[in-house]
Every structure is written in structure tokens, then in C-alpha cells.
Amino acid sequence: MSPKKPPSNIIVRPTRPEDFNAIIDMGRLIYSDLGTWSLEHLESHQHIFPQGQLVAVEQDTGKVVGSSSSLIVLWDDYHIQDTWQDFTDHGTFTNHDTQGRTLYGADVMVHPHVQGRGIGKIIYKARRELTRSLGLRRIRAGARLRNYGKFQEQMSPEEYVQKIINGDLGDPTLSFQVKQGFRIIGVVRDYLHCDEESCGHAAVIEWVNYQVAQRRDTYGRDPKFAKHRKRTMKPGSDTQEDT
Ligand SMILES: CC(C)(COP(=O)(O)OP(=O)(O)OC[C@H]1O[C@@H](n2cnc3c(N)ncnc32)[C@H](O)[C@@H]1OP(=O)(O)O)[C@@H](O)C(=O)NCCC(=O)NCCS
């Protein structure tokens, strides 16, 4: 792995079968006890929705340094409190539904040797482009509350999420997602049952594709998780920023 490579050397492209072993190895490093994609999972994703599977690759060496796994869901078929297992059909994506308008982010990861260098940001840009190119209304996902375990005696997961939104605390996953223009629309307890770091809890996050979303698509948000500030777009950016 080349730790000093700048993001300009990174491209995001659709996943190919020859990337599977690198994705599995990266997942083992990142998720260890939590478990990661198996070869059967990755083959299933590729078969069902190849467009939704992306890898970040070092252009000069061809090494896989990040990945993103997504499927399309019809949101009305689910409840906001459903688990990762429900939204991904136990990681297989056999619930992928081309009638749906929501890209569901099942996973994003960046190799630990090169985290914090802007690769996650590039992967999310590609995910937003995918969402637009497919004419989908939104991206939704469950963001693990990675640092919540350290605060579980002091506050509820909802209070923890509010502190992340307000910038009073930082979380390795949720702070990143918030910077990518995601809003929190709920908190799910027991989203990932075996995740000790988060005590199983996750924030339900959403990025809205305003090119096709209608006003009703953003009604009914829990005000608890709003920042109550004016929404603007950063010049030259496709992520929504709070000012
Ligand atoms: C979450 C993850 C994908 C982020 O990828 P990354 O390449 O490390 O992130 P980037 O370097 O692109 O960071 C993008 C932005 O998020 C911010 N960010 C990243 N990690 C952060 C942290 N721990 N706290 C606060 N902000 C953070 C960066 O500062 C950067 O902000 P900027 O736009 O102002 O420069 C990566 O850390 C990872 O693989 N984590 C483990 C797997 C995981 O939990 N995935 C999510 C499953 S829900």
C-alpha cells in the first residue's frame, strides 16, 4: 500500500470480479470481529446490481483502496427502524428492487492505511453521481455510531447524534457522513446487533437528489436532528452545507 499517494491518483470505477479478494481482505482489516463481505455476497451483488458496486483504485498500481456497496430499495417496503440485515437481505442484496427510488448504502470502506486522505469523499461523490444518473430521489443508509460505546453511560444514542450534528463530539463514521451532505432522519437501536463499538446503534442518514426529489420527499423529518439553519450549496460543490 502507498500511504502518501494523493487522491489525484485515485479513480472510482465499477467493481470487477478480480477486485473481490482485495475487498474481502480490506473488510477483514476494518471490521474484524464484526464480519465482512464473503465471496458469495460480492458475487451476488455483482450479479444483481453491478452498477451499484464501486471500488476506489490507485491508478498507477491498480490497488484497491476503497469500496462502496449499494442496492436500490422501495422505501415504503421498509420501516425506518429496520436493521442492516433487513435492508440488505442479510448482505445478499436479493431484495434489490428496480422500482425503488432510493439508493441504499450497505457499506463504504477505505483501506486503513489511507484513511483520512479524501478517498471516502471521492467514493461518495461517485455514489451521488450514480444516484443522479439513475434518476433516484435519495441515498439512505445506516451510519454506525462508532464512538457511542465510549459514551453509553453518559447519554442516549439520540443525544450522542445531536452532539455530532452540532459538532460538540466527533465520530469517525457519522462526522464523515455529515460532511458529505447527509442529514440524520432517525436513530435505530440494534441496527447492527453485533457491533460493540456502536452498541449496535446507527443513525439513519439521507442525501436528497434535488434534481428529482419533490417537496413531499423531505416532509416529516424528526426536528430533533435538524440543525435549524439555512441550507445553501457550497459554490462548485454538490454537497449541501449549513451556514
Ligand atoms: C468512514 C470512511 C469511509 C471515511 O473515509 P476516509 O477516506 O477516511 O474519509 P476522507 O478522508 O475522505 O474524509 C472526508 C471528510 O470527512 C472528515 N472525516 C473523516 N474522518 C473523520 C473523523 N474521524 N472525524 C471527523 N471528520 C472526519 C474529513 O476531515 C474530511 O473532511 P473535509 O471534507 O472537511 O476535508 C473510512 O474512515 C472508513 O473506511 N471507516 C471504516 C468503515 C466504516 O465505518 N464505514 C462506514 C460504515 S457505516
Residue 232 has what pLDDT? 47
Whether 170 is in the pocket of ligand 1, judged by its Cβ within 6 Å, is: yes
Give the CATH number, domain containing residue 144: 3.40.630.30
If phi over 0 gives left and psi between -120 and 50 gives alpha, with beta otherwise, what is residue 90?
Answer: left
Tell me whether residue 1 is in a domain: no
Ligand 1 midpoint to CA 173 (Å): 6
Residue 32 has what pLDDT? 82
Q: Which three cell numbers stand for residue 84?
A: 442492516
Tell me whether residue 187 is in a domain: yes
What is the residue type of 220?
A: G
Whether 204 is in the pocket of ligand 1, judged by its Cβ within 6 Å, is: no
Give the E-state strand segments of 160-239 in sequence order: 183-188, 202-208, 231-233
* 3-state SS assignment for residue 241: strand
∠ Cα 136 87 197 (to 5°)? 115
Residue 27, domain extent: 7-242
Burial pattern 153-173, b for ≥16 Cβ within 10 A else e, equals: eeeebbebbbebbeeebebeb
Residues of the chain falling short of pLDDT 70: 1-6, 220, 228-243
- Dump pLDDT digits (tens) for 30-74: 988 777 899 999 999 999 999 999 999 999 999 999 999 999 999
Tell me whether residue 216 is in a domain: yes
Q: DSSP alpha helices (H): ranges in 56-118? A: 84-88
CA distance between the termini of the chain: 38
Tell me whether residue 122 is in a domain: yes
Q: For the chain, what is the domain count?
A: 1
Question: Which residue's CA is minimally distant from atom 32 of ligand 1?
Answer: 179
Q: Which residue has the cell 467514493?
A: 123
Residue 230 has what pLDDT? 43
Taking the CA of residue 107 as reference, the ligand 1 atom at the shortest distance is 47
Whether 167 is in the pocket of ligand 1, judged by its Cβ within 6 Å, is: no
Tell me whether residue 2 is in a domain: no
Whether 109 is in the pocket of ligand 1, judged by its Cβ within 6 Å, is: yes
Whether 144 is in the pocket of ligand 1, judged by its Cβ within 6 Å, is: yes
Residue 111 has what pLDDT? 97
Pairing of strands 102-110, 64-73: antiparallel
Q: Which three cell numbers stand for residue 82?
A: 429496520
Residue 14 has what pLDDT? 98
- Dump pLDDT digits (tens) for 124-133: 999 999 999 9
Whether 118 is in the pocket of ligand 1, judged by its Cβ within 6 Å, is: yes
Residue 216 has what pLDDT? 80
